[in-house]
């Protein structure tokens, strides 16, 4: 049951006031980031889009990392050998 007098009494509690103050501060920071950070996000997205447009998506090579049970040095050595033979 909602009782306005008990809510006003709770609002006088110092810990609750500190919590409300912290919530206001966090909310202000989030709003500030959303307002001013949108320009940065848009710029980052634009730069990433430019890189994608420059990349050649028709000629790509699927490169996977070694599995947990595979020796990473041996896999790298095999890839180097395959690349060397491919260029010769």
Handedness of CA 44, 41, 36, 23 (dihedral sign): negative
Q: Phi/psi zone of residue 47: left (φ > 0), alpha (ψ -120 to 50 degrees), beta?
A: alpha
Confidence (pLDDT) at 36: 73
Query: What is the per-residue pLDDT for 65?
Result: 79
Give the C-alpha separation, 25 to 1, whole Å: 30
Return the residue matching tokens 């000629």: 59
For the chain, what are the domain ranges?
1-54
Per-residue pLDDT of the chain (88 residues; tens, 9 = 90+): 566 676 677 667 777 777 777 777 777 777 777 777 666 777 777 888 888 788 777 787 777 778 888 888 998 898 899 889 988 7
pLDDT of residue 26: 78
At 11 the pLDDT is 65
């Amino acid at each position: 049951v909602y009782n306005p007098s008990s809510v006003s009494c709770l609002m006088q509690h110092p810990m609750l006031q500190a919590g409300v103050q912290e919530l206001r501060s966090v909310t202000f920071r989030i709003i500030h980031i959303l307002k001013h950070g949108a320009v940065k996000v848009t710029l980052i997205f634009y730069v990433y889009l430019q890189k994608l447009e420059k990349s050649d998506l028709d000629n790509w090579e699927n490169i996977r990392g070694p599995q947990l049970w595979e020796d990473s040095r041996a896999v790298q050595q095999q890839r180097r050998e395959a690349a060397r033979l491919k260029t010769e």
